[in-house]
Amino acid sequence: MTYYKLLFLIFFSFLTGFSQKSQQAILIEQRVDSLLSQMTVSEKVGQLVLYSGSWDVTGPPSDLGNQKKLDNIKKGKVGAMLNVTSVAGAKKLQKAVLDHSRLKIPLLFGYDLIHGFKTIFPIPLAETASWDLEAIQNSAGITAREATASGINWAFGPMVDISRDARWGRVMEGAGEDPFLGSKVAVARVQGFQGKDLSDPHTLAACVKHFAAYGFAEAGRDYNTVSIGAYELFNTVLPPFKAAVDAGVASVMSAFNELDGIPTSAHKELLTGILKEKWNWDGFIVSDWGSIVELILHGYAKDQKEAAYRAINAGNDMDMEGRVYEKHLETLITENKVAIQLLDDAVKRILRVKFKLGLFDDPYRYLNEKREQSEIYTQENLEAAEDMALKSIVLLQNKNNILPISKKVTSIAVIGPLAADKDTPLGNWRGKAEKESAISLLEGIQEILPKSTKISYAKGVHLGLGERSFTNELTLNRTDDNGIEEAVALAKNAEIVVLVIGEEAFQSGEGRSQVSIELTNPQKKLFEAVQKVNKNLVVVLMNGRPLAIPDVAEKAPAILEAWHLGSRSGNAIARILFGAYNPSGKLPVSFPRHIGQVPLYYNTKSTGRPANAQGMVFWSHYTDERNAPLFPFGHGLCYTSFTYSNFKISKETFSKKEKITASVKLTNTGKVAGKEVVQLYIQDLFGSLTRPIKELKGFELVTLNPGESKIVSFIIDEKLLQFYTANKKWEAEPGDFKVYIGGSSYTDLVQKFRLTDL
């Protein structure tokens, strides 16, 4: 930008009353341009290089040692680091840049902030079950405060991949199966990380990932091929990314997968066409770990040079641990194979974020030892994690109101491989958490019950065997059922049994796909044996993905879904078991009856043969299992009961210029105060493309005292009815719709309306 152009823009901004923010943006542009004009090609390439400190590794490490990395940092050949997680470590590297490099461009320090830094919050799938956007934003805000106190200024999160496949281990990292809920949660997390002002040292730059369609890996196998079409891409996959972009997310991470023949890390239409051009977004794109060099293994580039060429041409701005930009970009520029404008654009995008973070004003802004000592893992943060855990728990089943358990209970048997486990609740992406630092459920129960209560404990069976680590394969116990007898003896003599089963922390997460989503055989045996001797049985599930547990659902009167809930897991679960907190979570994913139903999701299409045809086989079904899930999306019970009545819409026919209201009266008909997530679903009956049988379009959290009622209303307008149509644009098509309101996606409270053009 020339000096005169800048003056004009500033003058114009005063005249038109531009906000302070826009003026700041103009000044940043000017500073970016001025710096860029001083940079050599080699320095420009340096900004596109992201190294991992080899201390904490979250992917296969590159062949470069720490000393060589440090040398390159000093030469200004590195723009960002990941996995450097202490103020001292980050300071050393930032100082190396400032003391030795010519232009002293500060480093970004990135880290995976998935569900906490040191204070661990529930896994993202669990947090989503709260449907509580404020709480989710708060959780991300606390994580940002802890991480920035440790020198981090860039979060690799939120992960916003929609997925409908419980086999895929990374469902634990996302917001579940629904794009509407997923979009709201994406925005809450971005706002939690980035706050109102990126230059505030308690906030950091967010990075939504993985762009795009990574959650649709064939057969649920991580990193696998994706071949969905435009309908699914635009209507299901992209909405959370678009919402994050609209919320001002600073960066986006490309994905490992290919999409219909093109690896997404070199997908020009996705990265440049949609993200940068159509969405007019000015942040930067970072590859996933090594995903540019992996173009070779995909069979999309014959060597590293071609991989660099393809990725930069597609619009991928930064190379994470792939080392192909640092090796080949300069040559590609010299050979005129890559236009310098392309390199400049990438550099500008990265510098822009560094300026916004305030790093040029003070490169040590995030490097404060005092904060590191006082702002991490505080009592206050742990309490917030407990509060989030309470909100994330879902009561799946409660026959005969066996829950809550009276605190007057005289004897209780706490059984199961996860009952005393202090590590599993920390989940998979546990940041800097200390091993074994979670409160186990056994500890939580011991804390909440009077000392006089007889609490007995038996593990029953082992679940994981040997090493538990982020990087290595976990071995599961599939045969040894030695402890069952002891557990049964305790169960027999207790007034009530709490059986804690499910999945280890490292059963879900990256690289942890499974063909089975059932309990391990020893756990199944344990369950069968225990339920035979004591029908007063509460099953607490800990897991990072939906589980297929039809037998448990048939035989256990109560099931509490407790995911991997973080540092204060045991306290939160115990408070719910004993009625100190009324559960309010609702499932953000469908729970299948059988793995064979996967992918399973509520917002499915009708097909041409949706219903049983006169007793014949010619309809879309399985001959050996029902179509329905075991527990549907949006399902969750509580200790009171709610009734829905007076469901009304304000007008049955309305035009695209108007809006209508759908309202319902919600009454707490039970005996205790409770919170309900009131859900609005819409079905577009006919379209230029076939439409799902129901789509979530709104929700509200309502807390009511016993006997209290509230009218809950939702506005329906043209915008809410839009989808990516056969015209290849977002629009609402005139026609007939059904609208549903209720406490889960299985609600049948329905009204109809018609949308007209005029």
Binding map of ligand BGC across residues 64-103, x = CB under 6 A, - = no contact: ------------------x---------------------
The least distance separating ligand BGC from the CB of residue 189, rounded to whole angstroms, comes to 14
Q: Binder to ligand BGC among 46, 53, 59, 358 (CB under 6 A)? A: 59
| Site residues (CB under 6 A) for ligand BGC, limited to 714-733 | none
Q: Which residue has the tokens 């009545």?
A: 645
The least distance separating ligand BGC from the CB of residue 289, rounded to whole angstroms, comes to 4
| Site residues (CB under 6 A) for ligand BGC, limited to 112-171 | 112, 156
Q: Which residue is nearest to ligand BGC (CB)?
A: 58
Q: Is cis: bond before 404, omega within 30 of 0?
A: yes
| Site residues (CB under 6 A) for ligand BGC, limited to 225-264 | none
The least distance separating ligand BGC from the CB of residue 516, rounded to whole angstroms, comes to 23
CA–CA gap between residue 428 and residue 120 (Å, rounded): 10
Question: Do 716 and 659 contact (CB within 8 A), yes or no?
Answer: yes
Nearer residue to ligand BGC within complex by CB, 178 or 510:
510
CA–CA gap between residue 405 and residue 574 (Å, rounded): 10
Nearer residue to ligand BGC within complex by CB, 429 or 591:
429
CA–CA gap between residue 414 and residue 487 (Å, rounded): 9
Question: Do 263 and 294 contact (CB within 8 A), yes or no?
Answer: yes
Nearest to 675 by CA among 392, 363, 384: 392
The least distance separating ligand BGC from the CB of residue 653, rounded to whole angstroms, comes to 47
| Site residues (CB under 6 A) for ligand BGC, limited to 280-319 | 288-289
Q: Binder to ligand BGC among 510, 676, 695, 733 (CB under 6 A)? A: 510
Q: In the sheet that 642-649 helps form, which strands lie side by side, from edge to edge?
A: 642-649, 659-668, 709-717
Number of residues that bind ligand BGC (CB under 6 A): 9
Nearer residue to ligand BGC within complex by CB, 156 or 578:
156
Tell me the two tokens of residue 76.
Answer: 């200004």
Any idea which residues carry the catalytic annotation? 288
C-alpha dihedral sign at 184, 185, 190, 193: positive
Nearer residue to ligand BGC within complex by CB, 85 or 137:
85
Tell me the two tokens of residue 563.
Answer: 């995911």
Question: Do 269 and 233 contact (CB within 8 A), yes or no?
Answer: no
CA distances from 125 to 194, 500, 636 (A): 21, 19, 14
* Using rule CB under 6 A, residue 58 touches ligand BGC: yes
CA–CA gap between residue 735 and residue 724 (Å, rounded): 16
The least distance separating ligand BGC from the CB of residue 510, rounded to whole angstroms, comes to 6
The least distance separating ligand BGC from the CB of residue 204, rounded to whole angstroms, comes to 14
3 state SS for 217-231:
CHHHCCCCCECCCHH
Tell me the two tokens of residue 715.
Answer: 């506005």
CA–CA gap between residue 222 and residue 202 (Å, rounded): 34
The least distance separating ligand BGC from the CB of residue 209, rounded to whole angstroms, comes to 5
Which residues are paired to 643 by β-bridges? 667
- What's the chain's length in residues? 758
DSSP run (H or E) holding 703: strand 695-704
651: amino acid identity, one letter: K
Nearer residue to ligand BGC within complex by CB, 216 or 591:
216
105: amino acid identity, one letter: I
The residues binding ligand BGC (CB under 6 A) are 58-59, 82, 112, 156, 209, 288-289, 510
